[in-house]
Structure formats: C-alpha cells, structure tokens
Amino acid sequence: MNAPTPVDEAGPDRIAGPDVVDLGAERRATGIDDYLAGLDARLVGLTPVKQRIDEIAALLLVDRVRTRVGLATGPPTLHMSFTGNPGTGKTTVASAMGEILHRLGYLRSARVVSVTRDDLVGEYIGHTAPKTKDVLQRAAGGVLFIDEAYYLYRPENERDYGQEAIEILLQVMEEQRDDLVVILAGYADRMERFFGSNPGFRSRVAHHIDFPDFDDGELVRIGEMLLADQQYRLSDDARATLFDYVGRRRSQPHFANARSVRNALDRARLRQANRHVTAGTVAVDDLSVIEADDLAVSRVFNDRPDDARESR
C-alpha cells in the first residue's frame, strides 16, 4: 500500500499545509454555522430550503477561497425566486437571507428591504422611476425582497407603469449583481407565468427555491413553537385536536399553512381566556394551558368552514 497522503490523514486537528485549504476552518471563521443552527431550530421542516441555503453557503465559501488563491472567479449571481403556497415561510426565510449572505461576505449589509408593487410603481407618469430608484438605493448592499412579484407585470393595462419598474430592476440586477441580491417571491403558478412573460427576470435569477407545504405533524410543531414563544402550551388532548384541526383545515378554502395555525391558536387563546373569565377563578398553571375544547369549538370541525374566511 502507498504511504497515506496528508489528505488521507486529515483529522479534525489537522493544520492545513500550503497546498490544502481547510474549508471547515474557513466556514467556522464566518460564524455562519451558529446562525444556521439557530435558523434550523426556529424553522420547522423546510428541509429542501435549508439544503439550498447550505449549497449557497458552500458556493460562497469556495468562491472566497478561489479569490484568495488567485483563481478566476466572477462573483456568483445570487438573485433568487422563492415560490410556494401561502404561509410556507417565504417571507421568514427572506428576512434571514440578508444575515446569511452578509456573514458569508457576499453582501456588505444584512439589511433586507421588503417591498410590493405599490412601493415600486407610481400612479402617474414620471413617478415610477424615482420610486423604484429610491427603493433600490435603500436596498443597495443588501437584499431587496419583492413579494408577489407578478403584480409588477400587468399586460392587461395598456399603459402600465409596472413595465418601467421592471426595466430599471432588470438593469440593476445585471449591473449591480455583486452589491444587491433580489429575491422575487410568490405563488408557484403565477411566478411561472410571470417568468414566462418576462424572460429577462428568468435569466437573471440563478436560484429557484420551492417552499413545500408543511405536513400535519410539522404544522402541529409550528403551533407548539408559536405557543411556547408566548409561554402557552397545549394539553395532550389539545395536541391531538390540533392535529385533527390541521388535517381538516388543509382541505378548506384559504388554507395558509403556518399562518392558519397561528390564526387558529390566536382564536384558541381568546376562547381559553373567555372560559377562565366565565369560570371566575383559574389555577395559575392553567393560565398557560390551551385545552382541547378551546380548539374543538372551531367551525373547522363543523361542515361550515367559517374559520376558512380568516384573512391572510
């Protein structure tokens, strides 16, 4: 057998020689792992999304090292699209992207400026360009998150100022791609149509990240985390009822994943408070407990899904 090469001997304490770069040490130096571990703990599920974030982190790490050792390397394009159903965590993850890309040395700021069409497009002639440029200036060096990006494009209006905003955005996405990351977000089918009508956007977006619906167990865990943040918890029966709830709620109109759970639990807290006030006294421990009944009176358990009217 050949003598092992230094790479074969590599252990955790290995000191990288001049021919080897210790990417683990590089990664630790960014502090990104602490941040991602925190995000992982805070965000239930979303495994494919977390994997894509890891891939982007790896790409940027290798890119930094390549730059340092003098290899040809243009800064990678990092504009992204986030597609998924309501309440699947798109806005939540976008707000973490600034921090992630800043820690990895790609962006000079961790700031995320979040906008929709109305922040970019004016109502009168001459208003759109200054509005869009003002937003771009605020976002420069960080992330610009454009929620429901497809509303920018309104082909049915003959003179739509959205087109003007689109042209400015496309230019900046090209020219300032190492100083601004644009994230376009929205529901998958409409985003697909939007990219179809605006190939300029499609070609500038390097990372398309799809946010899956949460399964029932994930929704219950999200609910328990939301409650724990506010020092509430579910009784065992209530946990079973919430499980049942999310299974039914899913097939009713206006289901919005994690947001539907949040809304259901807000209403449960209301019922819990009402129950205690009606009883007149309450054990201190019970102040923190949501019982099955607080959820079970929901209309979702009738066949008249009034709760389905919840707004987003």
Ligand X SMILES: Nc1ncnc2c1ncn2[C@@H]1O[C@H](COP(=O)(O)OP(=O)(O)OP(=O)(O)O)[C@@H](O)[C@H]1O
Report the residue from 85, 91, 116, 203 that binds Mg ion according to the rule CB under 5 A. 91
10 contact choice in ligand X, Mg ion, none (CB below 5 to 8 Å, kind-dependent): none
CB of 85 to ligand X, least distance (A): 7
Contacts to ligand X from residues 77-106, by CB under 6 A: 84, 86-92
Among 202, 121, 207, which Cα is nearest to 157's? 121
Among positive and negative, which fits the CA dihedral 231, 235, 309, 44? Answer: positive
Q: For ligand X, how many residues bind (rule: CB under 6 A)?
A: 19
The answer to whether residues 52 and 209 touch, using CB atoms and an 8 Å cutoff, is yes
46 binds ligand X (CB under 6 A): yes
262 binds ligand X (CB under 6 A): yes
Nearest residue by C-beta to Mg ion? 91
Question: For residue 281, what are the CA distances in angstroms to 221, 233, 271, 273, 286?
Answer: 30, 19, 15, 11, 10
CB of 81 to ligand X, least distance (A): 13
204 contact choice in ligand X, Mg ion, none (CB below 5 to 8 Å, kind-dependent): none
The answer to whether residues 79 and 206 touch, using CB atoms and an 8 Å cutoff, is yes
CB of 93 to ligand X, least distance (A): 7
121 binds ligand X (CB under 6 A): no
Name which of 14 and 254 has its Cβ closer to Mg ion.
254
Residues 221, 262: Cα–Cα separation, whole Å: 11
Question: For residue 134, what are the CA distances in angstroms to 51, 113, 162, 177, 193?
Answer: 34, 11, 15, 17, 28
List contacts with ligand X (CB under 6 A). 43-46, 84, 86-92, 222, 225, 256, 258-259, 262, 312
